[in-house]
């Protein structure tokens, strides 16, 4: 083993020890700071809020979610107990808004004035609603209600994932306007997400706030299960002002389940193509403690029919995924909050190759050897403490996280390996300056390392690529009047990475030589204006929103290793958007429309002879692209239990000329659409839930896309991949309390189509299973 590899091998233990040390120090200081906060609270006694939630018929509603909102952020959330009752303790005196929602229902926001040392009783009444309300942690530096988020945000709740029997986060994202999901074949194949015309490495993925992307922003969604997921948040548009590097096009945040009434759940299912899935989980709280843990295993034999490209039988399309994760939290009487989280996945898949469309006859035989194994470990910790100082409310939050992502790929050429490791630490201070102004500021440090069999130095010994990112950030949330909310944020980053020697041979070993430093400042401004409000009754309400911001993606390991450019910069995006949301018929119907424009600059491309006049280097930031479009959405919910959601995206993308030339990088021409971005995409989701029955139908459609020859890529030429329409349907039936059987049919009409050119999607396939749950 090379000595250069040993620090990388020790880094997981070092990161874990560092994380535990940070939390230990925080725990030791908690008592003294909490005591200070307690003395401040004694000067202005804390209060409580209690009540009960009822449905339109006046009956109590168990498990409804109750949200307590201050003028600028979410002050707390809780679930009703089995009697429909809720309680908030240790509430600071002041003016709040109480929001309540349950599946298919919501309540008018209620204004609550809490005097010092009092118990305020509030009894919200629900009404039928198509509005999905939720806490959102991905649209600002603090938790905000979805209704106040000025960005383009979609929240996919657990109830929707369960009703439509969605097993993967990627499949959940197919109904989100502005996102294109492309899977290279069947279950477990490489799955990419393109946000609003951006590249597949332009989406930042967070799991409970922990960054899951590989070094350079890449992420394969195939291994991200919905087991144990509370909700999926999607923020479209660059969010580097909030999250820094890699949030250049969108943010997908997966929030796992924790807390609530103690509960144990499990499911078993079996389906076509030798597919099976087993899941189990437990979630709950007891006193100051809360927990959530889940795990599962999915396996599939994959497609074993005849390959359209060669006429031979396909094998090596199998897939196995094992995953486990959980969190443990503690919340003190004074509001101190500590939470530890962990996630682990192990995915093993065969790669038979592009056995579908074969436009130039380049694919000659199914690959029965190539296999990939991906293992991901994530650890995280968060400590937060609210306190009072200078007559204002403050909150200090410190987080730390660690990622270890390892890939082993075996082919006829032998074994190749790559890895990404990352340690992050973050400190953030939030302050309610006044009832109309909230501020957040802090600092973050990220250290990451990438390794690859193909990145070597002297004697072909592996050379790791190291990078560190130091950031300062700030955000202001201003509500000058009740209908208007303005959020402004900025983040400054100092990116330092290895510089490799300038060997003239791009494929020769290149040892590390010095460092490169880049700086980046990314602002974002958003605003939302609410007309009418829920008290307008049948007239509904109108919400106007707009946002503008920038984002960056620093180079990945190969872009760093195989360049002679000492000033290779991050890729950049600039984005503006504006939209309107309208609620009608007392929120039974909602419609929305958002227009956006994105400009992508400083894209990294290989120069070659065709672009030699544009740069002196082998690779450079000289390419450009743009995308623009419109996202439309609508939702309907009626008292009979029928819910319908519709989305449509018009997307116009273009490859632009490189800097200094009137031509695009070959084989493209300026003005051609970007690869795998459909001009038209639509989805319709229908769910009917009444009594013991829940049924669904889902339709997805998209127009043709430009793609590359499946075997040789751009060297084989460009081709159009035909559009398609696919239908899924299913139902579940509750046999008894805690026992439910379910079944579904994917690709109901057995359409032959390819999301990625050359890689056929699975034909009609059916699944049946049973869910069992026990608890209060």
**CA pair distance 598, 288, nearest whole angstrom:** 46
Q: What is the pLDDT of residue 610?
A: 87
> What digits encode the pLDDT tens for the residues 95-122?
888 888 888 788 888 888 888 888 889 9
In 412-558, the DSSP E strands lie at 414-432, 437-452, 465-481, 484-500, 512-531, 541-553
Residue 11 has pLDDT above 90, yes or no: no
Instruction: Summarize the confidence of residues 641-663 as an average pLDDT.
Output: 94
Could you tell me the end-to-end alpha-carbon distance of the chain, in angstroms, rounded to an integer? Answer: 54
Task: Say what the alpha-carbon torsion angle 648, 652, 655, 656 is, to the nearest 10 degrees.
Answer: -140
CB 352 within 8 A of CB 367: yes
Instruction: Summarize the confidence of residues 594-620 as an average pLDDT.
Output: 93
SS3 733: strand
CB 151 within 8 A of CB 526: yes
Q: What is the pLDDT of residue 501?
A: 55
Q: What is the pLDDT of residue 508?
A: 53
> What digits encode the pLDDT tens for the residues 181-238?
999 999 999 999 999 999 999 999 999 999 999 999 999 999 999 999 999 999 999 9
Instruction: Summarize the confidence of residues 495-517 as an average pLDDT.
Output: 64
Q: What is the pLDDT of residue 500?
A: 63
Q: Residue 505 — very low, low, confident or very high, per pLDDT cuts 50/70/90?
A: low
Nearest to 140 by CA among 479, 366, 381, 516: 479
> What digits encode the pLDDT tens for the residues 71-83?
667 888 888 888 8
Specify the range with the lowest mean pLDDT, choosing from 13-27, 417-431, 471-485, 573-587: 13-27
The alpha carbon dihedral of 43, 44, 50, 55 has a sign of: negative
Q: Residue 339 — very low, low, confident or very high, per pLDDT cuts 50/70/90?
A: very high
Q: What is the pLDDT of residue 679?
A: 98
Instruction: Summarize the confidence of residues 688-698 as an average pLDDT.
Output: 96
Place of tokens 């620093």: 554
Place of tokens 């020769």: 508
Q: What angle do CA 223, 228, 234 make, to 5 degrees?
A: 70
Whether omega for the bond prior to residue 667 falls within 30 degrees of 0, making it cis, is: yes
- Looking at every residue in the chain, the average pLDDT score rounds to 89
Burial label for 504, CB within 10 Å (0-12, 13-18, 19+), is: exposed
Residue 19 has pLDDT above 50, yes or no: no
CA distances from 26 to 36, 330, 382, 407 (A): 15, 13, 10, 35
Specify the range with the lowest mean pLDDT, choosing from 23-27, 164-168, 416-420, 438-442: 23-27
Higher-pLDDT residue of 735, 532: 735
Q: What is the pLDDT of residue 27?
A: 42
**CA pair distance 520, 494, nearest whole angstrom:** 7
Instruction: Summarize the confidence of residues 427-440 as an average pLDDT.
Output: 90
For residue 460, how many other CB atoms are within 10 A of its CB? 12
Q: What is the pLDDT of residue 539?
A: 61
Instruction: Summarize the confidence of residues 247-252 as an average pLDDT.
Output: 96
Specify the range with the lowest mean pLDDT, choosing from 353-362, 374-383, 394-403, 562-571: 562-571
Q: Residue 8 — very low, low, confident or very high, per pLDDT cuts 50/70/90?
A: very low
CB 56 within 8 A of CB 128: yes
**3-class DSSP string for 1-18:** CCHHHHHHHHHHHHHHHH
Residue 29 has pLDDT above 80, yes or no: no
Instruction: Summarize the confidence of residues 732-757 as an average pLDDT.
Output: 97
Specify the range with the lowest mean pLDDT, choosing from 498-507, 526-535, 693-702: 498-507
Torsions phi, psi of 164, nearest 5? Answer: -100, 10
Q: Residue 511 — very low, low, confident or very high, per pLDDT cuts 50/70/90?
A: low
> What digits encode the pLDDT tens for the residues 456-500?
887 788 899 999 999 999 999 998 887 899 999 999 999 998 766
Higher-pLDDT residue of 660, 599: 599
Q: What is the pLDDT of residue 513?
A: 60
Q: Residue 677 — very low, low, confident or very high, per pLDDT cuts 50/70/90?
A: very high
Q: What is the pLDDT of residue 156?
A: 94
> What digits encode the pLDDT tens for the residues 136-167?
888 788 888 887 788 899 999 999 999 999 99
Residue 754 has pLDDT above 60, yes or no: yes
Higher-pLDDT residue of 161, 28: 161
Q: What is the pLDDT of residue 733?
A: 97
**3-class DSSP string for 279-330:** EEEEEEEECCEEEEEEEEEEEECCCCCECCCCCCECCCCCEEEEEEEEEEEE
Instruction: Summarize the confidence of residues 589-595 as an average pLDDT.
Output: 95
Q: What is the pLDDT of residue 533?
A: 61
Place of tokens 């874990």: 16
pLDDT over 70 for what percent of the chain?
Answer: 91
Residue 449 has pLDDT above 90, yes or no: yes
**Residues of 710-738 as b/e, b for ≥16 C-beta within 10 angstroms?**
bbeeeeeebbebeebebbbbbbbeeeeee
Instruction: Summarize the confidence of residues 85-94 as an average pLDDT.
Output: 85
């Amino acid at each position: 083993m090379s000595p250069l590899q040993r620090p990388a091998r020790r880094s997981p233990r070092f990161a874990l020890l560092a994380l535990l040390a940070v939390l230990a120090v925080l725990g030791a200081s908690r008592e003294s700071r909490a005591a200070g906060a307690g003395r401040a609270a004694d000067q202005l006694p804390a209060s409580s809020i209690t009540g009960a939630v009822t449905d339109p018929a006046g009956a109590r509603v168990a498990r409804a979610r109750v949200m307590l909102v201050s003028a600028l952020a979410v002050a707390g959330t809780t679930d009703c107990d089995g009697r429909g009752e809720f309680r908030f303790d240790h509430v600071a005196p002041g003016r709040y808004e109480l929001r309540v929602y349950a599946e298919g229902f919501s309540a008018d926001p209620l204004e609550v004035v809490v005097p010092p040392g009092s118990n305020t009783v509030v009894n919200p009444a629900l009404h039928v609603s198509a509005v999905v309300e939720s806490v959102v942690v991905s649209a600002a530096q603090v938790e905000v209600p979805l209704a106040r988020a000025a960005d383009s945000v979609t929240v996919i709740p657990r109830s929707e994932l369960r009703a439509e029997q969605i097993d993967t986060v990627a499949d959940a994202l197919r109904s989100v306007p502005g996102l294109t999901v492309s899977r290279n074949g069947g279950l477990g194949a490489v799955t990419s997400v393109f946000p609003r015309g951006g590249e597949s490495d332009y989406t930042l993925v967070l799991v409970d706030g922990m960054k899951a992307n590989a070094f350079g922003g890449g992420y394969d969604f195939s291994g991200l299960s919905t087991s144990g997921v509370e909700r999926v948040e999607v923020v479209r548009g660059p969010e580097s002002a909030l999250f820094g590097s890699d949030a250049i096009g969108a943010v997908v945040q997966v929030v796992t389940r924790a807390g609530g009434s103690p509960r144990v759940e499990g499911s078993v299912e079996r389906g076509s193509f030798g597919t099976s899935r087993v899941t189990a989980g437990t979630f709950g709280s007891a006193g100051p403690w809360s927990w959530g843990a889940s795990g599962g295993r999915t396996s599939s034999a994959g497609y074993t029919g005849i390959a359209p490209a060669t006429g031979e039988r396909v094998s090596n399309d199998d897939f196995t995924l094992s995953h486990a994760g959980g969190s443990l939290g503690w919340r003190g009487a004074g509001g101190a909050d500590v939470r530890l989280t962990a996630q682990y996945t192990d995915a093993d898949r065969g790669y038979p190759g592009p056995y579908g469309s074969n436009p130039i006859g380049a694919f000659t035989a199914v690959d029965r050897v190539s296999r990939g194994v991906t293992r991901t470990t994530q650890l995280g910790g968060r400590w937060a403490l609210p306190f009072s100082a200078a007559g204002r409310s403050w909150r200090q939050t410190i987080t730390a996280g660690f990622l270890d992502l390892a890939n082993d790929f075996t082919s006829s050429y032998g074994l190749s390996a790559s890895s990404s490791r990352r340690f992050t630490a973050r400190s953030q201070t939030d302050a309610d300056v006044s009832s109309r102004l909230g501020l957040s500021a802090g600092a973050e440090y990220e250290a990451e390392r990438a390794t690859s069999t193909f990145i070597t130095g002297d004697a072909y010994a592996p050379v790791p690529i190291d990078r560190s990112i130091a950031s300062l950030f700030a955000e202001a949330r201003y509500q000058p009047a009740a209908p208007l909310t303005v959020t402004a944020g900025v983040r400054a980053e100092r990116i330092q990475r290895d510089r490799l020697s300038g060997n003239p041979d791009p494929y020769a070993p290149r040892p590390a030589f010095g460092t490169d430093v880049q700086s980046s400042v990314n602002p974002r401004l958003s605003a939302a204006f609410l007309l009418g409000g829920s008290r307008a009754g049948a007239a509904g309400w109108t919400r106007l929103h707009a946002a503008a911001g920038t984002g960056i993606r620093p180079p990945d390991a190969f872009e760093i290793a195989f360049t002679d450019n000492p000033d290779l910069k991050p890729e950049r995006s600039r984005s503006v958007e504006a939209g309107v949301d309208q609620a009608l018929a007392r929120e039974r119907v909602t419609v929305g429309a958002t227009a956006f424009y994105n400009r992508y600059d400083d894209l990294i491309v290989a120069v070659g002879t065709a672009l030699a006049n544009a740069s002196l280097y082998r690779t450079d930031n000289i390419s450009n692209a743009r995308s623009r479009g419109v996202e439309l959405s609508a939702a309907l919910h009626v008292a009979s239990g029928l819910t319908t959601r519709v989305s449509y995206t018009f997307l116009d993308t273009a490859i632009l000329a490189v800097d200094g030339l009137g031509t695009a990088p070959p084989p493209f021409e300026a003005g051609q659409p970007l690869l795998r971005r459909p001009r038209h995409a639509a989805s319709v989701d229908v769910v009917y839930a009444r009594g013991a029955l829940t049924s669904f139908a889902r339709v997805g459609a998209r127009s043709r896309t430009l793609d590359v020859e499946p075997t040789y890529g751009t060297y084989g030429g460009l081709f159009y991949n035909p559009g398609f329409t696919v239908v899924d349907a299913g139902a579940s039936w509750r046999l008894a309390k805690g026992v439910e059987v379910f079944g579904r049919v994917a690709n109901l009409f057995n359409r032959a189509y390819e999301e990625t050119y050359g890689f056929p999607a699975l034909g009609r396939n059916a699944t049946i299973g049973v869910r069992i749950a026990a608890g209060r």
